[in-house]
Amino acid sequence: MNKTILTLVAVVLLFNCSTAQKVTPVEAPKVVSTIDKSDIKASMIKALEWQEAHPIFAISPTDWTAGAYYVGVARAHKSTNDMIYMAALKNQGYWNNWQTYKRLHHADDVAISYSYIYIDMKGGRRNFVDLEPTKKFLDAHLYDDDNWKAGTDKSNMGKTILWWWCDALFMAPPVLNLYAKHTKQPKYLDEMHKFYMETYNQLYDKEERLFARDMRFVWQGNDKDTKEPNGKKVFWSRGNGWVFAGLALILDDMPTDYEHRPFYENLYKEMADKILEIQPEDGLWRTSLLCPESYDHGEVSGSGFHTFALAWGINNGLLDKKHTPAVKKAWKALKACQHEDGRVGWVQNIGAFPEPASADSWQNFGTGAFLMAGSEVLNLD
Amino acid sequence: MNKTILTLVAVVLLFNCSTAQKVTPVEAPKVVSTIDKSDIKASMIKALEWQEAHPIFAISPTDWTAGAYYVGVARAHKSTNDMIYMAALKNQGYWNNWQTYKRLHHADDVAISYSYIYIDMKGGRRNFVDLEPTKKFLDAHLYDDDNWKAGTDKSNMGKTILWWWCDALFMAPPVLNLYAKHTKQPKYLDEMHKFYMETYNQLYDKEERLFARDMRFVWQGNDKDTKEPNGKKVFWSRGNGWVFAGLALILDDMPTDYEHRPFYENLYKEMADKILEIQPEDGLWRTSLLCPESYDHGEVSGSGFHTFALAWGINNGLLDKKHTPAVKKAWKALKACQHEDGRVGWVQNIGAFPEPASADSWQNFGTGAFLMAGSEVLNLD
Amino acid sequence: MNKTILTLVAVVLLFNCSTAQKVTPVEAPKVVSTIDKSDIKASMIKALEWQEAHPIFAISPTDWTAGAYYVGVARAHKSTNDMIYMAALKNQGYWNNWQTYKRLHHADDVAISYSYIYIDMKGGRRNFVDLEPTKKFLDAHLYDDDNWKAGTDKSNMGKTILWWWCDALFMAPPVLNLYAKHTKQPKYLDEMHKFYMETYNQLYDKEERLFARDMRFVWQGNDKDTKEPNGKKVFWSRGNGWVFAGLALILDDMPTDYEHRPFYENLYKEMADKILEIQPEDGLWRTSLLCPESYDHGEVSGSGFHTFALAWGINNGLLDKKHTPAVKKAWKALKACQHEDGRVGWVQNIGAFPEPASADSWQNFGTGAFLMAGSEVLNLD
């Protein structure tokens, strides 16, 4: 996206802010004081079943969209131990022949390996999962030369580091972390940390405690800075969801005594506080976190990731239990975005900055976020 | 089918004509004056979902049955822009590895490429679709020698031209036409026209304005001619549906200034007039167009193709709007053949001449015809 | 499983016997005097649809779990001629590329070929099915040397014969029998009989007229013998179901004048009498046939196989029609274990001896057993 397009985007944002149309979820969330666990499980299974019956991908069944979806399926299995999830996981891994997607320098293309490693850890049969393609990818990804690492790519997105866009922090680091744990090779964790810091240093806004999606959205302090119609910085809900949920995934499997663990715990806490501060009244975050009036409706992929990460924090002692009601509210609102047949709606389509969703808009990664949220909400008190 | 068998068929037809059993659709069509577009869309999606959940093919997922089905899915996507259709299209193309089926001289085996070309035109990602197998097929199909072209095949079906059976005019010509447009190579269109004329000259009955299925059904004026029990010629509803719907597909993507376009427009108009003239009272055509009493129930694959072609003509100015009620009546009757769970029933099984269907009989190409019909009825005002 | 584990199992069994918890099916079976055939067909289709939408396997889509499931689908097709079953059969065969699973000495890995041979016999198109991998497997299985045949395997399970566990009598013999018939090569049937007798001689308990699962459960008359809490021998319901249903499959396609046919008919009758004798009041067999109180609930995979075999015997004159009510009662109880959405519950998971099931527990081979049962109950007058 060049600056001309960004300007157009800003105009559109402006227009939307001024005419802020209020879109309602599929059905209005009912006020319920407690959450019925069997009800959560039933919603999750329906979401899985609908998604499995509607296979979708951007460019391959091994791409990041499937990767994110099957992280959700893996977490649902981890939380419920229901073999309906493991059956789906094994089925995709088998037919994908345990392959990553093909661009070895691109974090997106190894996201699917989270599910492969998970299956290998839980699925039982020896020699069923083939982690060789994952290993080859990770080694090439970490150690081979490429334009991004070298800083020779001239894109205005700032492709001068390996993980130059914040989504990448969901795609590759949890895989490296889990692979390090599963194969007992801490070097993969160390490498993860090195590249993670690069992204953190470039895209994390310490004042706002949120991540810019990429360098186009990092202010340089001049009149070319991309602004929301209300004058604020552009912080994309899903983009921050990728980072925030990715942090929970990483912490979940990172050794408790890992030397850099405090950095991740601290970052998790900073983001959690911010995400809670800006949670809209109805429970779901808007696609533009600091200009919610742009598209004034809850968006499910970002909100699902936030809900997962917050609930995980409560369940794992990193977040005070007093935030439980806020998280439950978010889940109830997420559930209200699910259609009767299981489809998870209100998911912003593939993109790189705030855009609207609709009751009917869906994507596998949105279903994945929904499953991730459910998997941790299930474990609240 | 040799003449002995044809005689047997005639006997069966006779028997059926005399005992004409009236079969009723799943539920009787209600008289509705207007058509609710969201209702059409919902019916189409249910049809797609049921069909995707019940994969079927004659000999391969790339054969003509899948080819015709995915033409329907492509048209549904073109008309609605609903990504549920594109997801299904991409999924099949990916797993079929963009292959045609294998008999390079056989029009059936390239029908699937209509969907591949469509995805390449609409699906976005560069290098996602591989049209190389399609190109190889088309080049061999047009330019390589074979028995059919050479006229050395001794079948009584009249396999002395490339496209010796009328179904072929749906299978290959729309693909050649779309490929010519997409790749900007008019030579494929010119070749299409050349072979199309051969079939037209052999099988089109100018008096009846309908196509014989193949040479077995073209009268030679002697007592070996195949007759319906009522003494008329055998004109198969689905066979003519292949031609008629194929014409609409071709015209939809043929350059407006193409020198032979008037031929196709004229043929379209002749067939449209005839098909409208013989439309049964309840809206759906019988499997034997000129002996409807043979199997006196609406048949969905032929009727779906007719409905698509007629609605397309109205939507594109080739057919008078006064015919809109007839087309809407057909759609309502088609919809009445859909089961509650989405299954499209009353589809005659794979065959080559009129045979009965039942409320439960289904085939993917029947679902394709249903989707094609819906995709154009949706645009009737 | 070594003896320590077996002891543990015995303790668990003891515990369960004393605390016999009564688990109820999804819904209580209603007392119905006649069986509605369209109702059976509808239940079978729902079971198929749910299972196709929830693909599962232990290690590969060609493994024994899929093998047993698709035997059920094949029998459902044979009984109903509904092409919904043939579509599913062809789809799996095509995508499995007509491969067996890979361990050529292991009966489990050729179970899938039953469906391939069936498709080739019924599916129509020449050269559609490739039986070459099946032939290669069978030849290696019968004629190659291996540790089991040689008796050099030191397992306490008694792996000193080719088919050392009773499940094997379902996995390979019906395939060999059907292959012999289809290819008109009686030598495969003769080889089958040779190995069948080995298993019969090792595992069949003539007094109890039931099969031990493997040598761990054959009493040697000392205090290391594995006992149920009530002091009886361990006879696993599903294990005996494999043998009993396998016998019906074999007899169904074995030449009526085959010299060893009387042996199989006699064994069938002995088992049928026993299975009928011990049928629980509510119609469904418990996982432990002689200690039903261990897990006091009907289990569907074993019961489905028993019901299939019994109904087959009545339909084929090997069993007195007076047993029809018992078989109908079993079917009604099986049907009560099916969920509203089609899922067949109360299926014991993969195992090798009695373990409990639950309303939600499912497996593809359980669905296969359900389809097998329905396919024969449908033919009871």
* pLDDT single digits (tens) A64-74: 999 999 999 99
Longest alpha-carbon distance in chain C: 59
Residue C46, classed as helix, strand or coil, is helix
CA distance A56 to chain B (A): 5
C-beta atoms surrounding C152 within 10 Å: 10
Q: A–C: how many Cβ contacts below 8 A? A: 21
Which residue in chain B is spatially nearest to A57 when comparing CA positions? Answer: B87
B27 CA: distance to closest CA in chain A (Å): 24
Write out chain B residues lying below 8 Å of C53, CB-based.
53
Tell me the CB-side half-sphere exposure of residue B222, using CA atoms within 13 A.
Answer: 3
Q: DSSP secondary structure string, B139-199?
A: HHHHHS--HHHHT----TT---STT-STTHHHHSHHHHHHHHHHHT-THHHHHHHHHHHHH
**Could you say which of 1.50.10.10, 3.20.20.70, 1.10.510.10, 1.10.150.130 is the CATH number of the domain covering C41-377?**
1.50.10.10
For A241, the token pair is 């969801």
pLDDT confidence tier of residue B31, bands split at 50, 70 and 90: very low
Query: What's B61-115 look like in SS3?
Result: CCCHHHHHHHHHHHHHHHHHCCHHHHHHHHHHHHHCCCCCCCCCCCHHHHCCHHH
Return the number of other C-beta atoms located less than 10 Å from residue B358's C-beta: 13
Mean pLDDT of chain A: 92
Nearest C-alpha in C relative to B62: C94
The class level of CATH for B39-58+145-377 reads mainly alpha
Q: What integer pLDDT is reported at residue A33 of this predicted model?
A: 52
Query: Across the strands, what pairs with C227?
Result: C233
| pLDDT band for position A142 (cuts 50, 70, 90) | very high
| pLDDT for res C127 | 87
Inter-chain residue contact B52 with A53, CB threshold 8 Å: yes
Query: Who contacts A201 (Cβ-Cβ below 8 Å, separation ≥6)?
Result: none
In one letter, which amino acid is B114? Y
Q: How far is CA B301 from CA B74, B247, B323, B361, C27, in A?
A: 17, 16, 21, 11, 41
CA distances from A173 to A107, A153, A199, C343 (A): 9, 22, 11, 38
Question: Can you read off the two tokens belonging to residue C171?
Answer: 């996995």
Q: Which residues of B touch A367 (CB under 8 A)?
A: none
- Residue C94 and residue B61: Cβ atoms within 8 Å? yes
Angle at B61 between CA B374 and CA B161, to 5 degrees: 85
Q: Is the dihedral of CA A198, A199, A205, A209 positive or negative?
A: negative
pLDDT of residue B126: 83
Radius of gyration of chain C measured on its C-alpha atoms? 19
Nearest to C125 among B53, B58, B61 (CB): B58
**Smallest Cα distance from C257 to chain A, Å:** 44
Q: Model confidence over B95-146: pLDDT tens digits?
A: 999 999 999 999 999 999 999 999 999 977 888 999 999 999 999 999 999 9
The ranges assigned to domains in chain C are 41-377
Please tell me the predicted confidence (pLDDT) of residue B381. Answer: 86
Partnered with residue B227 across adjacent β-strands are: B233
Choose, from A63, A108, A120, A167, the residue flagged as catalytic. A167
**How far apart (Å, rounded) are the C-alpha atoms in residues C241 and C233?**
17
CB contact under 8 Å between A87 and C60, yes or no, is: no
Cβ–Cβ below 8 Å for C87 and B60: no
Least CB-CB distance to C60: which of A52, A84, A94? A94
Evaluate whether B304 touches B334 at the Cβ level (below 8 Å).
Answer: yes
User: What does each of the 381 residues of chain C score in pLDDT, given as a tens digit?
Assistant: 334 334 334 333 333 333 333 444 555 444 445 779 999 999 999 999 999 999 999 999 999 999 999 999 999 999 999 999 999 999 999 999 999 999 999 999 999 999 999 999 997 788 899 999 999 999 999 999 999 999 999 998 999 999 999 999 999 999 999 999 999 999 999 999 999 999 999 999 999 999 999 999 999 999 999 999 999 999 999 999 999 999 999 999 999 999 999 999 999 999 999 999 999 999 999 999 999 999 999 999 999 999 999 999 999 999 999 999 999 999 999 999 999 999 999 999 999 999 999 999 999 999 999 999 999 999 998
Cβ distance B83 to A56 less than 8 Å, yes or no, reads yes
Out of A49, A90, A125, whose CB is closest to C53? A49
**Residue where the block lists tokens 């921050």:** A240
Of the residues A56, A96, A360, A363, the best mutation for testing chain B's interface (the one with the most B CB atoms within 10 Å of its CB) is A56
- Among B38, B40, B36, B30, residue whose Cα is nearest residue B283: B30
Q: Which of B56, B59, B60 sits opposite C87 (nearest CB)?
A: B56
Average pLDDT over residues B175-191: 98
- Compute chain A's Rg from CA coordinates: 19
Alpha-carbon distance A138 to A141, whole Å? 5
Is residue C373 within 8 A of residue C275, CB to CB? The reply is: no
Give the other-Cβ count within 10 Å of B28's Cβ. Answer: 10
Taking CB atoms and an 8 Å cutoff, what residues of chain B touch A60? 94
3-state secondary structure of B44: helix
Cβ-Cβ contacts under 8 Å, B56 against chain C: 83, 87, 90-91
Indicate the fold that domain A35-377 takes in CATH: Glycosyltransferase (1.50.10)
Provide, as residue numbers in chain A, all residues whose Cβ is less than 8 Å from the Cβ of C359. none
- From C13's Cα to the closest Cα of chain A, the distance in A is 24
- The nearest alpha carbon in chain C to B53 belongs to C53
* C65 touches A98 (CB < 8 A): no
Q: Is B204 helix (H, G, I), strand (E, B) or coil?
A: strand
